[in-house]
Amino acid sequence: MTKQFETIRHSFSSHADEQKAEGMSKYMRGHFVFFGIPTPLRRSLSKGFIREFKNREKIDWDVLTMCYEAHEREMHYLALDALLAIRKKLLHEHLPKLFPFIKQHQWWDSIDVLDGIVGEIARKDVRTKRILQDWATDEDIWLRRIAINHQLEYKEETDIELLEYVITENFGSDEFFINKAIGWSLREYSKTNPEWVRDFLNRHRERLSPLSLREAGKYL
């Protein structure tokens, strides 16, 4: 798909908006360079690319890597959109291929897509859950955020023992993105099992950060 990669990158470049790009970069605290393409337009421009990627018999990891090694953040989003399109096909054995995307260009916008992708794999394979237990105590805060939030879409399938483990292992953190993740995971699960979340908050109230408590209690 090298030709398709070059075509879509040229399309993105031709729709670049310097003023929007500046604002988008500022919103991301200057961590990334942008073309300045709004999400609806980006998805419209990449529709053909995603469709062809999804329909290929084998996963083209090379083109995903090309997208993620590109300079502009929209190219990273393109790789993530492609991964989302095939998330049902991804297996535990694909984690080594996914790991570089988790470790590169880390920020909340990419990690919060990847946690759902990893979560889809973990839902099908207990071996991934064991890896997520390790990630919950990793020095990399973004691996810990994935461990905390990978069950956001699980609802009744939530592994509450794992959820409690990954959260309690991160008590005492002063990282905004960790404490926000804790609150977010509890808030989402409270829609399914408010009794368990209330009990969790009562048991651990003194160890939860104010941010986590505030987020967790939004629907209680």
- 72 SS3 class: strand
Among residues 64, 119, 67, the alpha carbon closest in space to that of 92 is found at 119
Residues of the chain with pLDDT under 50: none
pLDDT digits (tens, 9 = 90+) for 84-128: 999 999 999 999 999 999 999 999 999 999 999 999 999 999 999
Question: Model's pTM, two decimal places?
Answer: 0.94
User: Is residue 136 located within the same domain as residue 83?
Assistant: no
Residue 51 is given by DSSP the state: H
> Which pLDDT belongs to residue 3?
83
Domain boundary (89, 122, 153) is at: 89
How many domains does the chain contain in total?
Answer: 2
> Which pLDDT belongs to residue 122?
97
Domain boundary (89, 112, 134) is at: 89
> Which pLDDT belongs to residue 1?
64
Alpha helices in the chain (DSSP H): 2-14, 18-27, 39-45, 47-55, 61-69, 73-85, 95-103, 108-124, 126-135, 141-149, 160-168, 176-190, 194-204, 210-216
User: Is residue 19 located within the same domain as residue 76?
Assistant: yes
Which range of residues forms the domain containing residue 175? 98-220
Cα angle 119, 124, 127 (rounded to 5 degrees) comes to: 85
User: Is residue 105 located within the same domain as residue 205?
Assistant: yes
Cα angle 86, 44, 110 (rounded to 5 degrees) comes to: 50
Among residues 82, 17, 83, the alpha carbon closest in space to that of 46 is found at 82
> Which pLDDT belongs to residue 4?
83
Domain boundary (43, 72, 89) is at: 89
User: Is residue 63 located within the same domain as residue 108?
Assistant: no
- 170 SS3 class: coil
